Structure 1
């Protein structure tokens, strides 16, 4: 049965393993209906679909058809769940993990779908967590330092293996034919908008944070030639006029309307990144308000009216989150992934049996057991580098460490130490911003890990500051829907739309002073290990990785 809802927008959030569509009331941000589509291929980490050939370590690919299927299945189901008619939808917007980037033909066809390329790994989309381009990232940094590239400071002095140029250079070095055949090198955030409108569009956000676009330009051909002479023309594969966030990218094509069940001609907003778009959902757009989007990894997003060089940040971009301010990004490569690893590898069968008897997950069982301990009771301190370090070291060839293990160490001890390590990593990022002159005045959290109350309280205790929460489980999709409302003309700008449609619960967690004091001592130990293994005191993690590969 169809109900008489007012105007709505649709936000579509493309995550690591699935995509989610959310229908939102333009008037006040009420969430009316949602649907999720799990990717058929998930993350391609071991072998290409239909192939027995193994992928090397640190690879993470995706199949673009999985993204189209989100439009085909999740959007119609969300509309049905909301009970709204297609004519009530005034706009649609998307967000994506980033840097998730793919080679394509000039008409937008992914190279992996072109005859003769399905069995070539480099023809597929490289997911954000594809870290195999670390040597290329290192080479880019060295060349930038030696040639005095001014843009390097905007990225904290380091370029990540996750970003566009490093991944493209890896393609050129390892499969020059794929590189030559790729007429476009495009973020998935822009490619999916292309699928909706039938017209190519590029957004300012991914270009700035993932594509080294600063002050109106990409790195020049002379610089790229320092890396390889045949890399000098790379920018031509991604150079395209950039669109401001919250503006229309075009109108929904007839083909996309048939795919999604929406009306042809519906406004389609410019693409965006999942973390950055969530700032609007959390009402975290003002200077000094840091938002941590906590899931498999964590992204830290903050706006400021101050331009500063913050060591190890992922980038600072003018208008990168909201027009008129400098948008900063930092992050941790592994958080939820690390806890999942602990459950998968350190919890014995009897823990799984106990969890089944109690009707809870092993995560919940370990959390309860860990929460019963005093601070420091496990005698452990860990480094949260199982997926490398994004900020502030920007080195994805670092690895995890747990110090203090004994024959008495239990799974819940390890689980708690890893929770604490991720909190220490966040504190390191906050302190680095403040030491660089960028004040962090408020801290808000969003994402799937908010369900773990013990984890969130630990973060408040380690940070020694209150934590606000995004009062929605659909942060990126809600943020996308807010941007769709702006693009459709329902609000004059992102700030006003965020104020009307966003959700925030202030001071949901406050620090316990006694626990905070105890964590200060443990954090000092974390910092010592962080600097020793991450800043050249002992390069053993790199040597071990070299042996493995």
Structure 2
């Protein structure tokens, strides 16, 4: 590269805020960053400026928040960095999925039209929207009865968080919205549409969330007819089905979008991508045998391989879903960071808070210090990390958490450590499923939010899995990954890269520190893992359905109280 430095912009539209970064293409250094918190966040109770109250398990967002995030973040990047807009050679965006937006044929979200502003189904369904559980169950039954081969690519499961359960819920509960929705589109594709004026479908979201594959495409019309005859042509009628590879230029920044962003029109815009998947090359993971473990409210396990294998409990398997020509596998743990936060908010007595204030440290620092002083198995506790169900390898949202071994002497730090260990045991269970199915895991890199700084957690994962754990350097993995794909979309002629592998080599960094298994701890954890496996199989494979019976009883009581 010669002349003036070249930069790309990556924007990740997270749950509560959008993170944007301006990145030096030559070395991956983040020159400027900006975070815009959505005024409406995730809408779970009541529609904005409306009397409409949402049912349980609903999660929506306001599409205006997305556009306003761009308008605030990107001009701030340019102003803070003092670079020339001429130096920006590409833009990339990522969204969590499946976030489904019903729109008109020109891309206008129905939620922004007066006639639909009080209709919940017209609003973007956030990926955490779980109210389509009945539809997901029925889809699994239809696919199973029809011997659909695509089901194997998803470990035999279809999540209510995915594209078609949400779309079917719209059809079942609001025929007017379904009819008016000339397009049903992932938020990652919708944002690229707003920037370029070109509607496409990205391979990542289509493959991991909408049952598409290179070899088979979307399911056949007869599958959708089995959902309802009126849904037979949903793909043809409501989903423009040109699937675009990652790292490809979809189009150029339009005059309108350029004015929003204070940039030049004509800048290449990359294919959209899902948030967790964008983080993978930003963690230096772009080759077979490498695994990215993305730590957040939930954990995502992303594995790359040259060959296609059926892995029990995986959430998806997509050729080209992260790196072209490689098979990308995804597994996950459904709560992880969420249940650590749950414990910190609900499980620590007041005297610990007083002690933290006295030492002038955070409550989290105090509990981690106390938990780190414990030996493995010292507490006598073991837990199942199913506070929000089990994603992999059981794929059962109805399961709930367990802590076994309480006594009158049990202390908060012992419970906290048991939760950390349960998460590590769940990760080992996932890794063993991959390895047993022929997918090697030779290197693990963690990335994500604040949990990458939790030394105790990372040490426990290394000891439980018996694998060295490396840590990605960036604080903005999904935004940085989006900027990397933008550098590939820009191409070598503009100062970018020819492949995402090359971009990852040049633009991603690892911290110097790594976490190595400790032989003494490893032996103890092997014994604890045996106990975990007994509990996992006992409750997870239906030997005792007490969790589900209790959950059903709870739901019955709550329903009576609401009525």
Distance 1:273 1:384 in 2: 25
The CA distance in 2 between the partners of 1:505 and 1:365, in whole Å, is 25
Question: 2:128 maps to which residue?
Answer: 129
CA distance in 2, matches of 1:295, 1:83: 32
1:241-273, Cα deviation, whole Å (9 max, x unpaired): 011100111111122112112211111111011
- Structure 2 counterpart of 1:13: 12
Taking the aligned partners of 2:374 and 2:90, their CA distance within structure 1 comes to 49
Distance across 2 between alignment mates of 1:57 and 1:424:
31
- 5+ residue gaps, structure 1, are none
State the distance in 2 between where 1:199 and 1:381 align: 52
CA contact (8 A) 1:285 1:302 kept: no
**CA distance in structure 1 between the aligned counterparts of 2:443 and 2:283, rounded to whole angstroms:** 12
CA contact (8 A) 1:141 1:159 kept: yes
* In the alignment, structure 1 residue 341 sits paired with structure 2 residue 342: yes
Residue 454 of structure 2 corresponds to 452
Tell me the equivalent position of 1:65.
Answer: 64
TM-superposed CA distance for 1:507, in Å, is: 6.5
Which residue pairs with 2:89 in the alignment? 90
The answer to whether the aligner puts 1:547 opposite 2:560 as a matched pair is no
- Partner residue in 2 for 1:464: 466
CA distance in 2, matches of 1:543, 1:51: 37
Cross-structure match for 1:202: 201
The match for 1:179 is: 178
Following superposition, the deviation at residue 344 of structure 1 comes to 1.4
- Cα deviation digits, residues 497-534 of structure 1 (max 9, x gap): 11111112467110111111111122222222222222
SS across alignment from 2:339: helix
State the alpha-carbon separation in 2 of the partners of residues 42 and 201 from structure 1.
26
Give the one of 492, 495, 498 matched to 2:501.
495
Match of 2:228 in 1: 228
- Confirm or deny that 1:110 pairs with 2:116: no
Note the 1:420-435 alignment, pairs <5 A: 420-435=421-436
TM-score relative to the length of structure 1: 0.96
TM-superposed deviation, 1:230: 2.9
Aligned-partner Cα distance in 1 for 2:121–2:533: 38
Q: CA deviation at 1:229?
A: 2.7
Kept in 2, the 8 Å contact 1:467–1:507? The answer is: no
1:365 CA drift (Å): 2.2
Residue 483 of structure 1 pairs with residue 482 of structure 2: no
1:363-399 Cα shifts (integer Å, max 9, x gaps) = 2222122111111222221121222222112222222
Find the residue that maps to 2:114 and give its secondary structure. Answer: coil
- Gap change, CA 1:19 and 1:518, over 3 Å in 2: same
Q: Distance in 2 between matches of 1:196 and 1:342?
A: 42
- Cross-structure match for 1:29: 28
The SS at the match of 1:408 is coil
Q: Kindly tell me: are residues 409 and 50 of structure 1, through their superposed partners in 2, closer, same or farther at Cα, counting changes over 3 Å? A: farther
Offset from partner CA, 1:443-476 (integer Å, 9 cap, x none):
1110111011111111111111100111111111
Could you tell me whether the CA contact under 8 Å between 2:200 and 2:240 is conserved in 1? Answer: no
Distance 1:312 1:267 in 2: 38
Alignment correspondent of 2:314:
313
Determine if contact 1:14/1:67 at 8 Å carries over to the other structure. Answer: yes
Are 1:27 and 1:500, in contact at CA under 8 Å, matched by a contact in 2? Answer: yes
Q: Distance in 2 between matches of 1:182 and 1:366?
A: 50
Residues 493 and 46 of structure 1: CA distance in aligned 2, closer, same or farther (over 3 Å): same
In the alignment, what sits opposite 1:269?
270
Please give the alpha-carbon distance, in whole angstroms, between the structure 2 residues aligned to 1:382 and 1:180. 47
Asked whether the 8 Å contact 1:104–1:111 carries over to 2, the reply is: yes
How far, CA to CA, are the matches of 2:54 and 2:352 in structure 1?
Answer: 33
The Cα shift of 1:100 comes to: 1.7
